[in-house]
Chain A
């Protein structure tokens, strides 16, 4: 199946550090989304981006829609233990009819040591 390239695959950091992860695609998307998934739960939407070049924040999280429409970045500032989880990017493209179909990235496992 199709997956987006997401890096890094995993990160082990100290509490208080900043985190950066990115997602790249060979295809153009017109929507980029970032989700977080905790064990045993479904993904939870963190940030949605709809326009090339858009920079959006949600608390300590900041994400950007790449100007080429083929990539996106997520930054987490001043990490805390509850940031632990798997982060997924997801892209959506609408050609003609509207669709909610998402193509997901491979995921970034984040571990935060207190």
Chain B
């Protein structure tokens, strides 16, 4: 089975622009979560989706948004980019929600640099 794929792997943007990151979960997985990783804040939960519905959201401003499609693929969008948004954005997929003890598998991440 192919793992979680994220595109693009690297991205450079300037302040004020917006960006869309894509995540394709492992085949058959219906839950997708997003995390932001920075040297200062570590790994922080952004949001999670299950069956096209946002189930949980982290403590991030409204500039961060996401969605999930019927094929379980997910995108996240960051508008009006700030320098502090530079980070590794990680996507994780799992077959279902935690009640079934189905753990998450992470993709390689998208490295976003904001200049």
Which residues in A have some Cβ–Cβ distance to B below 8 Å?
1-3, 31, 33, 35, 40-45, 48, 50, 88, 90, 92, 94, 97-107
Assembled-state Cα–Cα distance A101/B58 (Å): 9
The answer on a CB contact under 8 Å between B45 and A43 is: no
The answer on a CB contact under 8 Å between A42 and B4 is: yes
Residues of A within 8 A of B97 (CB): 97-100
Residues of A within 8 A of B56 (CB): 99-101
Residues of B within 8 A of A102 (CB): 33, 35, 43, 45, 104
Pick from B35, B92, B98: contact of A99, CB under 8 Å: B98
25 interchain pairs, CB-CB under 8 A:
A1-B41, A1-B44, A3-B43, A31-B98, A35-B106, A41-B108, A42-B4, A42-B92, A42-B106, A43-B43, A43-B90, A43-B106, A44-B106, A45-B103, A45-B105, A97-B55, A97-B97, A99-B55, A99-B56, A100-B48, A100-B94, A100-B98, A101-B33, A101-B48, A107-B42
- When C-beta atoms are compared, the residue in chain A nearest to B9 turns out to be A40
- When C-beta atoms are compared, the residue in chain B nearest to A97 turns out to be B55
Assembled-state Cα–Cα distance A16/B67 (Å): 46
- When C-beta atoms are compared, the residue in chain B nearest to A40 turns out to be B108
Contacts A42-B107, A98-B99 hold; do A3 and B90 have CB atoms under 8 A apart?
no
Main secondary structure of the interface of A (DSSP, over half): loop
Assembled-state Cα–Cα distance A57/B5 (Å): 29
Residues of B within 8 A of A44 (CB): 106
Residues of B47-66 contacting chain A, CB below 8 A: 48, 55-56, 58-59
**Shortest CB–CB separation between residue A79 and chain B, in angstroms?**
23
Closest 8 A/B residue pairs (Cβ): A42-B106, A98-B97, A104-B43, A98-B99, A1-B44, A98-B98, A43-B106, A1-B41
